[in-house]
């Protein structure tokens, strides 16, 4: 096994390989998100929007972050480097695969408990699972696996009304889960925030009950979503990560996509959509865009 160099100066002096450097960095500070998103200065109270095309691994990034969050820092003398917290996952796309989460969690547990995999190799292993690599894995700690899976709180919504109802009752749900597990929710994940946008836009909201009841619109739905998230952050300090799928226009070449496929960590309140010049049309209302503290973190699948 290659010895990890302790001094960062060795990397500057070219006496340390990139693999050894990453192994040292990941040991000292485990990543919550996959590179290059690990460079985003995230903290509790931020609302992060991950934007990308359908095959750009947005959900995979959420799963990888969830695994790092639910794992304990240490278990039975084995260091896992997790956050030892709860994760609340709201599935709006209705395509979440719980088996992928299960496989990634088992591989992370196996890699640490067997001591045969470095942290830099675990990231490659996570991507192998995403690419449907079904290699047989060794035995794992069943008790730890069950504990981590219970810490992953899953909610599925099939329309905007269910999503709004979920947000309005989420405070009670989070308090109940925190009392049950004895730990707090660290990440609220929303996959994907724009799932119902085009359905709601194409259909007419029918009034419920009295005819004089106000009919909700796309703007009012987005305003309610932002308001409820802000209320939750006041009561339960946590990190909010929302994914959003987009479609690139045909007039943008692959070379343009490569040039624009860079990470943008600018604050949404100081950046406009026109100044970013992204190769897609923003369809979410401005109230949602302004509600993101880290706006348009772009991940392009090349």
**289 vs 179 pLDDT, higher one:** 179
Token pair of 172 as six digits: 């009670």
* Closest C-alpha to 238, from 189, 187, 295: 187
Given a cut of 60, whether residue 107 has pLDDT beyond it is: yes
**Strongest mean pLDDT among 5-19, 101-115, 194-208, 258-272:** 101-115
Give percent of the chain with pLDDT exceeding 70.
61
pLDDT-based confidence at residue 206 (cuts at 50, 70, 90): low
Q: Looking at 3-7, 85-89, 222-226, which range is the least confident one?
A: 3-7
Query: CA-CA distances (angstroms) from residue 184 to 26, 83, 264?
Result: 24, 11, 29
Distance CA 223, CA 286 (A): 9
Segment 48-87, tens digit of pLDDT: 988 887 777 889 989 999 999 999 999 988 888 899 999 9
Q: Looking at 3-17, 85-99, 232-246, which range is the least confident one?
A: 3-17
Given a cut of 60, whether residue 210 has pLDDT beyond it is: no
Given a cut of 80, whether residue 154 has pLDDT beyond it is: yes
Which residues does residue 74 pair with via DSSP β-bridges, in sequence order?
A: 79
The number of helices, as runs of H, and strands, as runs of E, in the chain is: 12, 8
Token pair of 264 as six digits: 């943008």
Given a cut of 60, whether residue 38 has pLDDT beyond it is: yes
The mean pLDDT value of the chain amounts to 75
Q: Which domains, from first to last, does the chain contain?
A: 41-113+140-204+215-249+281-301 (3.40.50.300)
Cβ within 8 Å of residue 75, ≥6 positions away: 141, 144
Segment 237-293, tens digit of pLDDT: 999 999 988 765 544 434 334 444 444 444 444 333 334 455 567 788 888 888 888
Distance CA 147, CA 233 (A): 25
Which residues does residue 170 pair with via DSSP β-bridges, in sequence order?
A: none
């Amino acid at each position: 096994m290659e010895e990890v160099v302790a001094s960062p100066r060795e990397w500057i002096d070219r006496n340390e390989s990139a693999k050894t450097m990453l192994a040292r960095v990941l040991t000292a500070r485990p990543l919550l998100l996959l590179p290059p998103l690990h460079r985003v200065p995230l903290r509790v109270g931020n609302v992060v929007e991950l934007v990308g095309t359908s095959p750009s691994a947005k959900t995979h990034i959420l799963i990888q972050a969830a695994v790092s969050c639910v794992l304990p820092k240490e278990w039975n003398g084995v260091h896992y480097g997790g956050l030892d917290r709860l994760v609340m996952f709201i599935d709006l796309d209705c395509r979440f695969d719980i088996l992928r989460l299960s496989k990634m969690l088992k591989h992370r547990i196996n890699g640490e408990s067997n001591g045969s995999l470095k942290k830099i190799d675990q990231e490659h292993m996570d991507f192998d699972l995403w690419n449907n690599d079904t290699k047989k894995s060794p035995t794992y700690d069943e008790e730890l696996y069950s504990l981590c899976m219970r810490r992953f709180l899953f909610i599925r919504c099939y329309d905007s009304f269910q999503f709004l109802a979920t947000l309005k009752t989420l405070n009670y749900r989070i308090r109940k889960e925190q009392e049950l597990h004895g730990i707090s929710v660290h990440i609220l994940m929303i996959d994907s925030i724009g799932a119902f946008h085009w359905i709601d836009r194409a259909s007419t909201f029918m009034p419920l009950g009295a005819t004089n009841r106000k009919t909700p619109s796309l703007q009012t739905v987005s305003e309610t979503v932002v308001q409820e998230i802000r209320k939750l952050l006041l009561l339960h300090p946590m990190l909010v990560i929302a994914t959003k799928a987009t479609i690139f226009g045909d007039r943008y070449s692959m070379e343009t996509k490569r040039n624009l496929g860079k990470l943008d960590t600018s604050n949404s309140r100081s950046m406009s959509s026109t100044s970013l010049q992204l190769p897609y049309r923003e369809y979410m209302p401005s109230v949602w865009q302004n509600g993101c503290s880290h706006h348009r973190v772009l991940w392009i699948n090349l």
